[in-house]
Amino acid sequence: MSPYLYIPLISLLAVCIIMTLVFLWALKLKNYGIVDIFWAFNFLVIASIIWLLSDGDAFRKTVVCALAALWSIRLGIYLLIRVGGHIHEEEGRYKQLRAEWNTPKFFAFFQMQAISNVMLSIPFFVIALNKEPGFSIIECIGATLWLICIIGEGISDWQLQYFKKQPENKGKVCQYGLWNYSRHPNYFFQFSLWISVLIFALASPYGWLAVICPLSIGFLIFKVTGIPMTEEQALRSKGEAYKEYQRTTCVFVPWFKKK
């Protein structure tokens, strides 16, 4: 069997098993929000499988797996601190879903998260299987932008957590740092990260398949669990203050305030 098939299949089996165990734990905890933590760490699992099993150029394989692992660890640790710090208190958006969904639907949701892990790893597979020696200019650009986006996303998340930790900010809308210029700078860098992954992948055979990443992440951010659900929860909890924030601040791309 081609490595383009068996490596993704092994990865899918691994993350589906992980998500089944996580689902059972979530039932016990009564907190479906932990799915986010393991969705992030699953990329580390997949990167490890790719590094061990792929037979592409060693340097290229190491770079793509290292960048994927770095992003996975950073995001996973952030979510572990944010969600794990309130392990017995489910996030508002998951409380809302709990009111609308039954248990089988949540199980399917957890498995869909595992499938999304593998789908979003398509560029990692094709890059790591590229046997062409050397690093092209387009790969250097993609890798550099990827690293910048990891840093930008990390700064956004840190600024939000720092703001929330200050007692005087309780009930207020975060407009600290990058959040003064975008209502969702973390999503901006997350989406940009997958654009950079696409750029990196274009130098490899079948690299065009990586277009599925920014398209699917963009759909989730703009239409499903990203901006819509986050803003609905913010409006429920912060009311008029958040409406004013919506009026004056760009929704996605960091830019200057509207007068």
- What digits encode the pLDDT tens for the residues 5-32? 899 999 999 999 999 999 999 999 888 8
Upper half-sphere CA count for residue 135 (Cβ side, 13 Å): 14
Rounded-to-10 torsion of CA 3, 15, 146, 66: -70
Rounded-to-10 torsion of CA 169, 172, 176, 181: 180
Most confident segment among 30-39, 100-109, 161-170, 177-186 = 177-186
- What digits encode the pLDDT tens for the residues 203-235? 999 999 999 999 999 998 998 878 998 898 899
pLDDT value of residue 71: 97
**Range in 1-5, 162-166, 181-185 with the lowest mean pLDDT:** 1-5
